[in-house]
Amino acid sequence: MVLFCALWTPLFYIFWRTIRPSGGNSGELYALLTGAAVAIFRFFIPLIVDAYGFGLSRYISVFIDYTSLPVLFPLVAAMLIAHFYPRSGITDYTGFTLLSLVPAALVCSAIWSGRRDAVHLVLTPLLWTAFASVFYPLVQMVRNGMSPHKILRKTAAVLGILLYSFLASLVWWNFFRQKTIYGIILLIPSLAPVIILGIFLILRKNTADKNNDDNKKTKFLSIRNVKTRRAAVLIAMLAFCLTAVAGYISAGLARRTFVFYMADTGQELVEERMIAYTGTRETDIVRYVEEVTLGPVSLEAEPLLNRDTRLESLLLRENVVYINFSEEAAIPPATGSLADKIAALIDGIRRNFPFVTNTRIFIAGNEIFTDWPYVADN
């Protein structure tokens, strides 16, 4: 998956070069300089927005740090360079953005290599390239016009870019908070435009192809060879996708999310850990709860339960989880209430294991919160 994150964007740029209409200029030098600046900034400041929990702050962080701003910044840079320095000749904003994303992809693949998480290493570069591809039809709409009023075409293009940026962020956000079904439903329309555009540009003959129709002697530039090069790059891209998915499946790892609380502010802190599948649902839940008892990785957060707490037993019967902790779990936490910490634990179990319909908590063999509707009916 790390290799996919590093190579998908440059491979997609090469594919774009083979299908884009003739005469497009990506401003390669300016694109690489822009990409280098973004990569350096990303290396020293991986996250601009500090996110807590799964709510609005997390969505804003996704929008700024992962899906939208990394793509919108090169687009704005290309437009400013083309406007203030016409001699640059930049006309292909999609190519400029894709090439600018190459250094960022290399840096991010190194930063995220320890995660072994498909959301970061696979989904992010896919959304980057899909988002950049959307620029082409929107820019063409502004240039060629679907409306007699240019201001309306520009407004429609801006709205289209913003709408897609929100959609891409929504896809990433749903996968992050483990709403996989919603993520897949939203991923389909987010990838549909780039698939349709790719098919359209592959089938459409550009100026070079027409010249090759008139000059069959130019064997290297013949239509057959052009299509072969396009097909070869496309096959390589599909192979990369399948390899990344196969690598993720063969690794036998499951992405689990844990919610802890900051010791000073009480804000939620989400941590992600890749835990190996065991083959049985009950044992998977045992490993998750054991990770909870270990506490957070962050030194600024506090554990949900007393650090000396042990998991005595865990049973899964008819999708109901019965958890028995040692007596140390009854010690009140330094901040917050035990009820809030138990609620966070139950939320985590339900989020990571959707098949669980109920969770019963015991301490030293005695059930707690028996009259608590949250526990009884969750």
Residue 170's pLDDT is 92
Looking at the structure, do residues 308 and 259 belong to the same domain, yes or no? yes
Comparing 47 with 112, the larger pLDDT belongs to 112
C-alpha 42/C-alpha 103 separation (Å) is 10
Q: How high is the pLDDT of residue 219?
A: 47
* pLDDT confidence of residue 24: 62
Same domain, 212 and 290: no
User: Which one is predicted more confidently, 35 or 138?
Assistant: 35
224/306 same-domain check: no
CA 161 to chain centre: 18
pLDDT, tens digit, 9 for 90 and up, residues 315-365: 999 999 999 999 988 888 777 788 888 888 998 999 899 899 999 999 988
What DSSP designation does 333 have?
A: P
Model pLDDT, residue 378: 46
Average pLDDT of every residue of the chain: 81
Among residues 236, 205, 209, 241, the alpha carbon closest in space to that of 222 is found at 209
pLDDT digits (tens, 9 = 90+) for 356-369: 999 999 998 888 87
- Mean pLDDT confidence for 102-109: 90
Share of the chain above pLDDT 90, in %: 16
Kindly tell me if the per-residue pLDDT of 217 is higher than 50: no
- pLDDT higher at 245 or 93: 93
- pTM of the shown model: 0.78
Q: Are 19 and 198 a contacting pair, CB within 8 Å?
A: yes
pLDDT for res 316: 92
Residue where a domain stops, chosen among 184, 217, 251: 251
Same domain for 93 and 240, yes or no, is: yes
Query: What is the chain's percent helix, strand, coil content, to nearest 5?
Result: 65, 10, 25
What's the N-to-C CA distance of the chain in angstroms?
Answer: 36
Which among 318, 321, 312 has a CA at the least distance from the CA of 349?
Answer: 321
Residues 260, 246 share a domain? no
Domain that holds residue 88: 2-251
Reported as a single tens digit per residue, the pLDDT across 142-183 is 666 555 566 777 788 888 888 999 999 999 988 888 888 898
How many domains is the chain partitioned into structurally? 2
Give the domain-ending residue among 196, 223, 251: 251
Confidence of residue 372 (pLDDT cuts 50, 70, 90): low
143 lies in the same domain as 96: yes
Residues 288 and 319 in one domain: yes
* pLDDT higher than threshold 70 for residue 375: no
Which of 251, 276, 304 terminates a domain? The answer is 251
For residue 103, pLDDT beyond 50: yes
Q: Are residues 247 and 344 in the same domain?
A: no
pLDDT band at 224 (very low <50, low <70, confident <90, very high): low
- Residues 48, 153: one domain? yes
Q: Predicted confidence band at 223 (pLDDT cuts at 50, 70, 90)? A: very low
CA dihedral of 71, 74, 78, 84, whole degrees rounded to 10: 130
What is the per-residue pLDDT across 182-212, written as a single tens digit (0 to 9) for each? 989 999 988 888 888 777 776 665 544 555 4
Q: Are residues 281 and 184 in the same domain?
A: no
Mean pLDDT lowest among 64-78, 136-150, 220-234: 220-234
Q: What is the pLDDT of residue 377?
A: 45
Do both 183 and 329 map to the same domain?
Answer: no
Beta bridge partners, 254, equal 275
The residue among 91 and 372 whose pLDDT is bigger is 91
- Based on the fold, state whether residues 205 and 294 are members of the same structural domain: no
- CB under 8 Å to 110, separation ≥6 — which residues? none
Q: Which of 18-27, 47-56, 103-112 has the highest mean pLDDT?
A: 103-112
Question: How does residue 241 score in pLDDT terms, banded at 50, 70 and 90?
Answer: confident
**Residue 376 gets which letter from DSSP?**
H
Across 37-58, average pLDDT: 80
Mean pLDDT of 288-301: 88
Q: Which of 311, 306, 361, 344 is nearest to 328 (CA)?
A: 306
